[in-house]
A and B are shown apart, each in its own frame.
Chain A
Amino acid sequence: MKSKKVLLRVENLVKYFPIMQGIIIQKQVGAVHAVDDVSFDIYKGETLGLVGESGCGKSTTGRTILQLYRPSSGSVHFDGKDLVQMKGEELRKMRRKMQMVFQDPYASLNPRMTVGEIIGEPLIIHNVASGKEVQERVEHLLELVGMNPSFENRYPHEFSGGQRQRIGVARALALQPELIVCDEPISALDVSIQAQVVNLLEDLQKQFNLTYLFIAHDLSMVRHISDRVAVMYLGCIIELTGRDELYSYPLHPYTQALLSAVPIPNPVIEEKRQRILLQGDVPSPVNPPSGCRFRTRCQYAQEICADQKPAWREIKPDHFVACHFADQWL
């Protein structure tokens, strides 16, 4: 059984990006509500999946947690310490414990550095190792992610997408972090390669007791890798619960529609499936709808949905949802 120790506690996290106008005298004319009042916990050793469509604020949430973007308000407690209040050297020391694997393995590795330099850089920056020791650690890390240690003198362009992503994983592992934020680590890869990387991430998690925040838009992959799953829509988390619970008994209308939209690679099932088709597109995060964010596309929406923002509530044990009418599905 997993211990239920909270590693990361995110409370009322808000991130607005200002929209400026004017050339010399700049004035703020609005804001992109990228993340709007998000709260959740991540337990030590678990994988929390964060799903949603593009532009819903998944990546911004991940980056704001790591303080790559400073939040507009809210708090992020890592191991009981609030990262939002930290700065400078203090924050830099904390960064050792939390790392990130990026989406695009073609853009996240410096083309002018060798693989050895890329993986060794965090060790040198954080004064963890020096000289010969760096090389030894790098070779060990390359082996860990299933690559030949002699590759350390090669450049990123010599590798395929899947191998590059392995290098990205090795870099994230270099400082032996506790938390890794995986920001769509597999969506740029081919299907047969995706499975390789996911298997690697799972093996490493077991070996080092890592905690993952796994951001993705591929719902079937998220189901595969996560222990719990949070669904995001337009800057808000609308449902959060255990993986099997979410996929078997989705309570929020958006989760239901999202799950029914995923194609299943089985023609017999596909023939009988009834789809919930959402109308229209996601509204703009510059001017999100009042009340419930999803009401403009929701087939059950009523007046109260426009007037009141639905409360984030625990509708049954460990099943959180933000919808006025979620009880009808219980």
Chain B
Amino acid sequence: MPNQLLNVNGLETHFQTREGVVHAVNGVSFTLDEGGTMGLVGESACGKTVTMLSLLRLIPMPPGKVVAGSAVLRGQDLLKMTDEEIRSVRGAQISMVFQDPMTSFNPVLTIGRQVSEPLEEHLGMSHAQAYKRVAELLEMVGIPKAKDRLNDYPHQFSGGMRQRVMIAMALACAPQILIADEPTTALDVTIQAQIIELVKRLRDELGMAIIWITHDLGIIAGLAQRVIVMYGGYFIEEASVKELYGNPQHPYTIGLLGSLPRLNESGHQRLVSIDGSPPVLMEKPNSCPFAPRCNYAIEHCWQENPVLETIAPDHRVACWVDSQTRSAR
């Protein structure tokens, strides 16, 4: 058994808005093993990013608030730390790569200055030492002539290169966990393939754990060992990669996989679409959040929100209906 690195339990995040309380994350729990790769899949606004920002205490408060839960990293609860303590975790033990490489750098500071910041802050390196290390890091992520580019500004790099720099910055202090929040969504497929290969290589070299947030089920298939599917602020299915793609159980997961055209598709099949649109998160539902869009819904689905239940080793699902028999579990 690999060691548990991060244990999140019952995490719940709300946002106070003028129209009412938005229930962005509703009591999610997961564990991350040392060196493991976990995929977190879901559509926009389902709470993927907020879950991760909550762990790192990066939610703007107010309007946001983590109302319940714990996130234990090596015996310490991130959510109970002082501001000083959490700062020593961010960037050093857990770091994050953001979606948009165009806007997540400071445009008026050089790349060298920005990447060296965590080194000076967390590892106490001198300026000269830090710059030397930055050049090595940029070399590692495949920036050609890295030494000459330390004094360049972000706009002088292309999108793919900027995302490489972002990864270098995230890895500067050799964190145990790398949270990648849709890092390739803004990039072209050929560049996306480069970045994924890079992250895989670095994962194997440095042995860090990765949480990869995405809406693209294709990326996860080749990268992660475990997948969690999120819908309307809830985790609705969790399984190993092979289990989830081979034997999806939740109607939403089944629909999501069916709505993807396959590159190896033979003949012309109609796509399975999920009718309706994603839920509004203003109220905590008393029913299954997916029930209004679900083809399999039975009466019980409208009366009680299902919780994640283990149905097979390494497979948990939150659904009242057995998808094979279309009757109550």
Is B129 located at the chain interface by the 8 A CB criterion?
Answer: no
Partner of A269, one of B194, B256, B264: B264
- Distance from A190 Cβ to chain B, minimum over Cβ atoms (Å): 4
Please encode chain A, from 259 to 301, with 1 for each CB lying within 8 Å of some chain B CB and 0 for all others.
1111111111111010101100110000000000000000000
Q: Is A151 in contact with chain B by the CB < 8 A criterion?
A: no
Residue A223 CB within 8 A of the other chain: yes
Q: Answer yes or no: B188 CB below 8 A from chain A CBs.
A: yes
Give the shortest distance, in Å, between A206 (CB) and chain B (any CB).
11
From A191, A258, A259, A275, name the one whose CB has the most chain B CB atoms within 10 angstroms: A191
A264 cross-chain contacts in B, Cβ below 8 A: 218, 221-222, 262-264
With CB as the reference atom, state the residue of chain A lying closest to B243: A267
Stretch binding the partner chain, chosen from B130-138, B147-155, B272-280, B295-303: B272-280
Q: Given the complex, which residues of B lie within 8 Å of A160, measured CB to CB?
A: 277
* B residues in contact with A304, CB < 8 Å: none
User: Knowing A190-B278, A192-B259, A278-B194 touch, does A265 contact B272 (C-beta < 8 A)?
Assistant: no
Residue B128, interface by CB 8 Å: no
Question: Within B189-232, which residues are at the interface with A (CB < 8 Å)?
Answer: 189-194, 196-197, 215-222
Chain B residue contacts of A196, Cβ below 8 A = 273-275
With a cutoff of 8 Å between Cβ atoms, the chain B residues found around residue A217 in the complex are 188-189
Contact A262 B259 (CB under 8 A): no
* Cα-based distance from A266 to B194 in the complex (angstroms): 19
Let me know if A223 and B43 touch, CB within 8 A. Answer: no
Find the A residue at minimum CB distance from B258.
A195
* Interface presence of B91 (CB below 8 A): no
**Contact yes or no, A191 B259, CB < 8 A:** yes
Residues of B within 8 A of A37 (CB): none
Q: CA of A97 to CA of B192 in the docked complex: distance in angstroms?
A: 38
Mark each residue of chain A from 129 to 160: 1 if its CB lies under 8 Å from any CB of chain B, else 0: 00000000000000000000000000000001
Closest to A198 in B: B271
Taking a contact as CB atoms under 8 Å apart, the answer to whether B263 and A53 are in contact is no
- Asked whether any CB of chain A lies closer than 8 Å to the CB of B161, the reply is yes
> A-facing mask of B39-67, CB < 8 A → 1, else 0?
00001100000000000000000000000
Q: Please tell me the size bucket of the interface on A.
A: 35 or more
Residue B158, interface by CB 8 Å = yes
**Does B160 touch A at the CB level, under 8 Å?**
yes
- Residue in A160, A192, A262, A271 whose Cβ sees the most chain B Cβ within 10 Å: A192
Q: List A contacts of B274 (CB < 8 A).
A: 192, 195-196
Are B193 and A261 closer than 8 Å at their CB atoms? yes
Q: B242 CB to closest chain A CB, in angstroms?
A: 5
Q: A224–B261 contact, CB under 8 A?
A: yes
Q: Which of A192, A223, A260 contacts B256 (CB 8 A)?
A: A192
Please name all residues of chain A whose beta carbon is closer than 8 Å to the beta carbon of B292 when the two chains form the complex.
none
Instruction: Mark each residue of chain A from 29 to 71: 1 if its CB lies under 8 Å from any CB of chain B, else 0.
Output: 0000000000000000000000001100000000000000000
Contacts of A162 in B (CB 8 A): 277
Q: A217-B189, A258-B190, A265-B221 are in contact. Are A195 and B259 (CB under 8 A)?
A: yes
The answer to whether residues A221 and B261 also contact, given A265-B245, A267-B221, A275-B197 and a CB cut-off of 8 A, is yes
- Asked if B306 is an interface residue, CB under 8 A from chain A, the answer is no
B168 within 8 A of A: no
The reply to whether the CB of B83 lies closer than 8 angstroms to some CB of chain A is: no
B260 in contact with A263 (CB, 8 Å): no
Residue B145 is within 8 A (CB to CB) of chain A in the complex: no
Beta-carbon contact of A53 and B271 below 8 Å: no
A267 lies within 8 A of B218 (CB):
no
Which residues of the other chain, A, contact B241 by a CB distance below 8 angstroms? 267
Task: Kindly identify which residue among B189, B222, B265, B277 contacts A273, using a CB–CB cutoff of 8 Å.
Answer: B222
How distant is A39 from chain B, measured CB to nearest CB, in Å?
25
> Which B residues form the contact surface with A (CB < 8 A)?
43-44, 158, 160-161, 188-194, 196-197, 215-222, 241-242, 245-246, 255-266, 268, 270-275, 277-278
Q: Which residues of A contact B (CB under 8 A)?
A: 53-54, 160, 162-163, 190-196, 198-199, 202, 217, 219-221, 223-225, 244, 247, 257-271, 273, 275, 277-278, 281-282
List 10 extra interface pairs beyond A224-B268, A282-B188, CB under 8 A.
A53-B191, A191-B215, A192-B256, A220-B261, A223-B261, A265-B221, A267-B222, A267-B241, A270-B222, A277-B194
Q: List 17 contacting pairs A-B, 8 Å CB cutoff, sorted by A.
A: A53-B189, A163-B277, A190-B215, A191-B43, A191-B215, A192-B255, A192-B256, A195-B258, A195-B273, A199-B273, A262-B189, A264-B263, A265-B218, A265-B221, A267-B241, A277-B193, A281-B158
